[in-house]
Structure 1
């Protein structure tokens, strides 16, 4: 029973979940981020992660005579997939179960590949730390070092210099040839372009030993009659060229077509458009292609083994005498049964791995942005140039001789000529 004259307190509004209206004004449900996991998804993953290793431990320790860490990991992963699919199927349909299992398999494959890379790097660098702390390892050669000498004698300076000389010659050959071929494939086209693209794709899968045999038969046996750094550089160039062509081809395809059309509309020729529009737009991607090809060439061993020769002294002339490189030096070191020589081999391999990883990091930093995307520094520079142009265009023009005439009253006619003014 209510008292007369008193109003009932208004009821509190009912709490409603946050919803997102679509264009027609109909609410379509709460907003959720695509990368955000729900509580059910987290429970499914954590439950499968706990159940899989637990059941595997019971199988290996109690119910079956299974042993071994590798078998334990394999069985744990299989049971994890089984429990995860079971938990997901409780509240999802068949298609969603397939999607979740595929996602887990892809993530697991990425983890395995990354783990293998980390293991190789850590193991090689760990074994190479015996030789890496010695300064002479980077400044001396193996000319006066014997197999029984300690790590304080000898080094890989000749291999480092040989690698730099060979890769420089290979870059001088592959950069203009590879980028020009990629430009031809994208800007000219035609039947011959399809043939060239097919050949370059086939050369990507060419075994490195075949490239070494080709250079050995065509250059060493017929022309130079001796192994040299130049022959090794040619073999490395054969391996680098398809990588640079393929990567540059993909990058040039990403250049927007309207940029070419705008250049043609302004009256520019095809090659002027390529030189002034296409190549500057894809500059970062082309640099990435060159660095990836360089990383491939630095690590080649089979073609260098047949073409460069093995030496323990410094050779700065790539056209005369054998010239060893880092991969070939590793191969030569690890053949020895002496622990110190093997330690030098792992140290050389560690230097090679760190050099290749450095090149890939540089490629990632340079090629992290697509064509036309500017970095923060470039964006600030463009903004500064735009501000300077705006200030220059808004600047007040200087007073001209016709300015006093404009200041006269409207009703006063301007004199026709100076003679009427004098009269």
Structure 2
């Protein structure tokens, strides 16, 4: 009796079938090839955008149906959602890859020492009595480094001190704290051209109508950098455990020394990373520098006298206002754009290295 009962009892299956691990790339590859052949046969042409969209849609339908039959509904939904997330990632990265590819392919022909360390401009040839335009970006490289360096020297101390006040001294209900937080939020969203107009108007009132200078552009960039430095430093300081502060204060260490020796030193990795990323953010600004410092083909390393050239402004002016040799001007624009990309990449690498070196665990 017991044997018959045991044999007739239903058996619960806790496992389901599984598709092979390589099924997703295989289905994707087969779908892409089949759709490409169909498009070539039917339309006698090939549209990359339509092919990519159809491949993604047909792939998700195929993998969803196959997974639901073999693995069940939950696994099928998981595979479809994973495919949607992958498509969203590709759509987000595609413009970046396309932009980098265009800049590298167009500007690689100018990426040589003569262009990087040469001063561009019109040169008169006494033998042929012709004026030739020679591309060169050294004046723009020097101007970019000088203007950005002065802006960082002004913005970093102000931003760090403001963040220290907001996190270590001001109470949550302090009216001044609320006002500073509100102003920082407003400054974070202002257009960059407004900062350029502010700097130019300020120096026009102090100096005169022709107030173009590298220092004026540095003030404009500092206005854009300060809220970024404040926000990043504030978040890094808040991550420092309160136990470290309490232990230092319990030992009789003054509050100022605790902030300098304990809080800022613990958060140094994140603070430096935020500062470098803020510099990388403003180094590519065009509008404020174009308004405040103008542009010139002459080499000028004095930020307090006359117009200065920068890489983003050089790229803009060479492409929008080409000289007599249009091909040379456009080549210079792409070369300046590639140099700017390389400079931003270097700043980001410096930020990563600094974050690893000054991290509390590695230090």
Structure 2 length-normalised TM: 0.82
Give the Å deviation of 1:269: 2.8
1:82 and 2:61 correspond: yes
Secondary structure of the equivalent of 1:129? helix
Structure 2 counterpart of 1:248: 233
Q: Which runs of 5+ in 1 are unaligned?
A: 1-28, 30-37, 379-423
Q: Deviations for 1:11-63, whole angstroms, at most 9, x for unmatched residues?
A: xxxxxxxxxxxxxxxxxx9xxxxxxxx96372452344135324533552456
Distance 1:130 1:65, change over 3 A: closer
Give the Å deviation of 1:362: 1.6
Structure 2 CA distance, aligned partners of 1:317 and 1:338? 30
Count of equivalent residues: 337
Structure 2 counterpart of 1:205: 189
Give the Å deviation of 1:331: 0.9
1:316 and 2:301 correspond: yes
Give the Å deviation of 1:157: 1.4
Q: Deviations for 1:269-291, whole angstroms, at most 9, x for unmatched residues?
A: 32221111011111111111111
Whether the 8 Å CA contact 2:295–2:307 is kept in 1: the answer is: yes
Whether the 8 Å CA contact 1:59–1:66 is kept in 2: the answer is: no
Structure exhibiting the larger radius of gyration computed from Cα positions: 1
Structure 2 counterpart of 1:216: 200
Structure 2 counterpart of 1:109: 88
Whether the 8 Å CA contact 1:158–1:313 is kept in 2: the answer is: yes
Structure 2 counterpart of 1:158: 139
Give the Å deviation of 1:219: 2.9
Q: Which runs of 5+ in 2 are unaligned?
A: 1-13, 125-129
Structure 2 counterpart of 1:177: 158
Whether the 8 Å CA contact 2:135–2:329 is kept in 1: the answer is: no
Give the Å deviation of 1:322: 0.8
Structure 2 CA distance, aligned partners of 1:130 and 1:58? 37
Distance 1:272 1:41, change over 3 A: farther
Whether the 8 Å CA contact 1:44–1:87 is kept in 2: the answer is: no
Whether the 8 Å CA contact 2:220–2:289 is kept in 1: the answer is: yes
1:268 and 2:247 correspond: no
Structure 1 CA distance, aligned partners of 2:330 and 2:131? 11
1:343 and 2:331 correspond: yes
Structure 2 CA distance, aligned partners of 1:304 and 1:270? 40
Distance 1:177 1:319, change over 3 A: same
Tell me: higher relative CO, structure 1 or 2? Use CA pairs within 8 A at least 6 residues apart.
2
Q: CA RMSD in A?
A: 2.9
Structure 2 CA distance, aligned partners of 1:64 and 1:342? 37
Give the Å deviation of 1:98: 4.5
Give the Å deviation of 1:357: 0.7
